[in-house]
Structure 1
Amino acid sequence: MRAVADSSRIEGDALPEPPSREQLVRKLALAVQSHDVPATLHLLSDYVGAAHFLLARCDLIQEQGLDYIVSSDWPFDLVRRVAPEIASNYAKSSELEKCLSLFTPGFSLLPDDVIVPGSISRQYCSLGLCVGRTRYMLLLLFTEGLILSQERLRELGLLAAYAASSSEQMSNKAERDFELTERELECLFWIAEGKTSDEIAMILGISRNTINNYITSVMRKTGTKTRSEAIAYAVRNNLV
């Protein structure tokens, strides 16, 4: 299986020996204590021989711009060009495909018009992982011709989830998941129960228009476009 690496390396140079698991665990513990997300991702990238990392937060992926990208050392022009395609591909994936991608490395090709730096391959590796209720996607670039260790890639998802869950910085950012008000959560619960806006209005004793405003707010905050998507989000994140 092939992939990509550090644009600063000169072609023909010997690649450095990746750290052992024991070395990684020691360094990872120190980086996690410092709440340094980029440092932990650099360590994990080195462990599998990756040159560049990009960590995206999937529940924010439908937002405009690059807000859903948590941390990345990909060249910025590459991030700006590829980010819309990452979001589009994720949105097109079924819920089953998203679940199957968790902790399972997958490989894709960068678009043909993308300029990749140095000896970096056009192929990249993606790995889904969960941190509590939040789902993330880790994308890795490697040096052209590098043979990946499938064993280390499988470990990578678990180690990345550990590092992310222990990071105060990422935990603070994850608080955006829980900005739903009590009324919004009530409406979300009742639409998950199959109730219409009129029925919810009768149950809660408020107007149908107010219910629709709450539901619109729920979909905006959760990055969903339909009631069905909002229900799926709520189930996935244990909100109902």
Structure 2
Amino acid sequence: MHRVRSFLSRRTLPMDMNVIQASKGERHMANFASAVVPDLLPRDELLQRLHGVASTGRLQSGLRALTDYVGASHYLLARCDLLQESGLDFIVSSDWPFDLVRDIANDLVRGYARSTELEKCMQVFQPNFALLPDSAEVPDGASRQYCSVTFNVGRSRLSLMFLFGEGFILSPERLRDVGLLAGYVASFLRCGGTKVDRDFELTDRELECLFWIAEGKTSDEIAMILGISRNTINNYITSVMRKTATKTRSEAIAFAVRNNLV
């Protein structure tokens, strides 16, 4: 399992020894004295519940089923591609206490902005563990460590975050299942929303500049192609990097390729 820095927090933790050992299989989980092993939702029952969600369209029921399947206590589904926007609009659905969501929001935004495009790509379906802010008040019995699983729905990137009890070992096998099934549920219920089709609010000119950057053109060459000044081209490129939360032209190109913008 890759030890990649989570986009969610600069205080991301490497998996502790118990979690690493748990990757050997769920049948070994009960061998650890520190493990809390509740009765987990069987996979067949999970699939039945998700089938019901598909017919009713109740996202919260599907997220609760996935939460029960991994043995977590609370879930939060977020749109990673909207983290750079103001407010809490990036939250799709959550049963975390509101104050906790508000406390963690700034950490999520800062952590996502620090991540490179390569790190964001490598995080897909890889469980990441991080700590809640010291000032955050967690629910009774919950660990300050939380787990996130990231997945794509079309051009949108989402992350399903779990709170779990102190001493509980999350199963990597079940987390991988959840990543795949959460992607299915979110896709079926169109959790990407209408913003999936807006090309991340890039204007036509910004998309043109992004295309020519990907073709290896310099600002002077793009200015000549489009018939506008070099300074205007640089302003468009700066706007592209701001909207896509990238730091360099190379990262902007990687973002564009990953999201089928060029």
TM-score range, shorter chain: 0.7 to 0.9
How far the C-alpha of 1:217 sits from its partner, in A, is 4.4
| 2: CA distance, partners of 1:214 / 1:33 | 44
1:204 counterpart (226, 231, 251): 226
Q: Any idea what SS the aligned residue of 2:157 has?
A: strand
| 2: CA distance, partners of 1:76 / 1:23 | 30
How far the C-alpha of 1:157 sits from its partner, in A, is 0.6
1:232 counterpart (254, 257, 261): 254
Amino acid at match of 1:29: H
Segments of 5+ residues of structure 2 without an aligned counterpart are 1-17, 20-35
| 2: CA distance, partners of 1:194 / 1:24 | 48
* 1:172-220 CA-partner distances (Å, limit 9, x unpaired): 3423435434433221101222323332121123344543454344345
Matched-pair contact (CA < 8 Å) for 2:54–2:185: yes
| 1: CA distance, partners of 2:164 / 2:121 | 25
1:47 counterpart (42, 64, 69): 69
Distance 1:209 1:100, change over 3 A: closer
Which shifted more, 28-37 or 126-135? 28-37
Segments of 5+ residues of structure 1 without an aligned counterpart are 3-13
- What corresponds to 2:164 in structure 1? 142
The reply on whether 1:122 has 2:144 as its aligned counterpart is yes
- What corresponds to 1:71 in structure 2? 93
The reply on whether 1:161 has 2:183 as its aligned counterpart is yes
Q: Any idea what SS the aligned residue of 2:140 has?
A: coil
Q: Any idea what SS the aligned residue of 1:238 has?
A: coil
How far the C-alpha of 1:126 sits from its partner, in A, is 1.4
The reply on whether 1:192 has 2:214 as its aligned counterpart is yes
2:244 counterpart (222, 231, 236): 222
| 2: CA distance, partners of 1:208 / 1:97 | 31
Amino acid at match of 1:50: A
| 1: CA distance, partners of 2:127 / 2:137 | 24
| 1: CA distance, partners of 2:51 / 2:94 | 20
Q: Any idea what SS the aligned residue of 2:135 has?
A: coil
Amino acid at match of 2:207: L
Q: Percent same amino acid at aligned positions? A: 64
Amino acid at match of 1:92: R
Q: State the Cα RMSD in Å.
A: 2.5
Aligned residue pairs, count: 229
The reply on whether 1:132 has 2:161 as its aligned counterpart is no
Q: Any idea what SS the aligned residue of 1:168 has?
A: coil
* 1:145-175 CA-partner distances (Å, limit 9, x unpaired): 2232222112111111111111134343423
